[in-house]
Amino acid sequence: MQGRALILGERKDGKLRQVTLEATSAAKKVTSGEVVVLLLGDGSDASTKEMLGAYGADRLLTIEHEALRHYTSDAFMQALRAAVDHVQPEVIVFGHTAIGKDIAPRLAARLGAGLISDVVDIVEKDGVVHFVRPIYAGKAFEERTIEKAPMMFTIRPNNIAPLAESAGRNVQEETLALEIKDLRSMIEEVVKKATSGVDLSEAKIVVSGGRGTKGEEGFKLLYELAEVLGGAVGASRGACDAGYVDYALQIGQTGKVVTPDLYIACGISGAIQHLAGMSASKVIVAINKDPEAPIFQVADYGIVGDMFEVLPPLIEAFKKIKSA
């Protein structure tokens, strides 16, 4: 394909999200055309522009508007439609994020287009692009093709590697003016609940706890470990059902699917519905008292022992490394 690609870029706390660079890389796998990254809300700064250029974007399109500072489907739809009219893309890529997975289906419906969600790999066979995506939370996979342009897809964070950095590549910058009207949703309040700055689905390291944590006390150790490693904390369904932590942390077929570089499971037995949500992690460590726990069957490294005895020295050991 040679048509243009449009990517809905995302920022968190003013910084470009990694998934946007991954989306740029994904776009390049399906088209040799110009890659345009769309940023909504605030204008962009020099470092964002530089980074987008270095990782393969050709053009940066910004729509600055108060109503786009925070996501609502109404405002984002109006902005995306304006951007699609302006860019005339044949490929449209989103991160499979809170925003991307919510808005991409609406835009696809409006454009009468097919959309492939949660893509983890893109392969070409006999000149046809096949998108690989997990089904049943990773218990199985499927490959799909899209019949006609625009080719729309969302990508799962942490799966498609960004392009190699080529510093100093130039990016054209363009601003689109837009009048936004008839908003039906009004944001009244945003409560930051995520304790660390690292989002669970994008985290490179996830420290996760189950019923074996016995509650708050156990999770305190997990948070400490996650902080030392710069990771995020997750939980099994058992831990959430028991009320130890919020459902927002649940990993599994219900809950979130994560694919970090390192997953440390503490006091988690490994029910099949939990394994579906984490077994595609690159390296898995399991700490559990029960040597028969199914979690050990997917773990690269297992420690049979009480997490309350294992975690304190482990945290100390990592602290030593990090301060060295």
Partner 1 sequence: MKIVVLLKQTFDTEEKVVIENGVIKEDGAQFVINPYDEYAVEEAIRIKENGDAEVVVVSYGPARVEDALRKALAMGADRAVLIEADHPVTDEAGVAEVLAKAVEKEAPDLILAGNFSVDNGAGQVAPRVAEILGLNHVGAVTKVTLEGDDVVVERDAEGDLERIRTKLPLLLTAQQGLNDPRYPSLPGIMKAKKKPLDRLTLSDLGLGDISPRTTVTNRYNPPKKEAGEILQGDIATQVETLVKKLREEAKVI
Residue numbers belonging to the annotated binding site for FAD: 211, 236-237, 250-254, 267-274, 288
Residues 7-26, mask of contacts with partner 1 (x by CB under 8 A): --------------------
Kind of pairing, strands 11-12 and 15-16? antiparallel
Q: Which amino acid is it at 68? A: L
**180 - beta bridge partners?**
none
Comparing CB distances to partner 1, the nearer of 24 and 281 is 281
Task: Supply φ then ψ for residue 123, to 5 degrees.
Answer: -130, 145
Q: How many residues bind partner 1 (CB under 8 A)?
A: 98
- The string of DSSP codes covering 22-62 is HHHHHHHHH-SS-EEEEEEESPP-HHHHHHHHHTT--EEEE
Q: Which of residues 145-184 bind partner 1 (CB under 8 A)?
A: 145-148, 184
- Smallest distance from partner 1 to CB 281, Å: 10
Please report whether residue 192 would count as binding partner 1 according to CB under 8 A.
yes
140 in contact with partner 1 (CB under 8 A) = yes
Smallest gap, in angstroms, from Cβ of residue 166 to partner 1? 24
Which among 124, 131, 89, 130 has a CA at the least distance from the CA of 107? 89
Radius of gyration over alpha carbons of the chain, in Å? 21
Nearer to partner 1, 174 or 246 (CB): 246
Among residues 36 and 198, whose Cβ is nearest to partner 1?
198
The window from 1-9, 34-42, 56-64, 310-318 that contacts partner 1 (CB under 8 A) reads: 310-318
Answer yes or no whether residue 138 interacts with partner 1 by CB under 8 A.
yes
The 57-76 site mask, x for binding partner 1 (CB under 8 A), equals -------------xxxxx--
Determine, following the binding rule CB under 8 A, whether residue 253 of this chain makes contact with partner 1.
yes
Per-position DSSP letters for 53-114, written without gaps between them: HHTT--EEEEEE-GGGSS--HHHHHHHHHHHHHHH--SEEEEESSTTHHHHHHHHHHHHT--
**Binding residue for partner 1 (CB under 8 A) from 135, 175, 243, 290?**
135
Q: Pick out the residues of the known binding site.
A: 211, 236-237, 250-254, 267-274, 288
**Is 84 a binder of partner 1 (CB under 8 A)?**
no
Footprint on residues 85-124 left by partner 1 (CB under 8 A): 97-99, 101-106, 108-110, 112-118
CA 53 to chain centre: 21
Instruction: Point out which residues pair with 243 in neighbouring strands.
Output: none
Residue among 45 and 261 whose Cβ is closer to partner 1: 261
- For partner 1, give the closer residue by CB, 36 or 314: 314
What sign results for the dihedral spanned by CA atoms 29, 31, 34, 36?
Answer: negative
Which two tokens mark 37? 């990254």
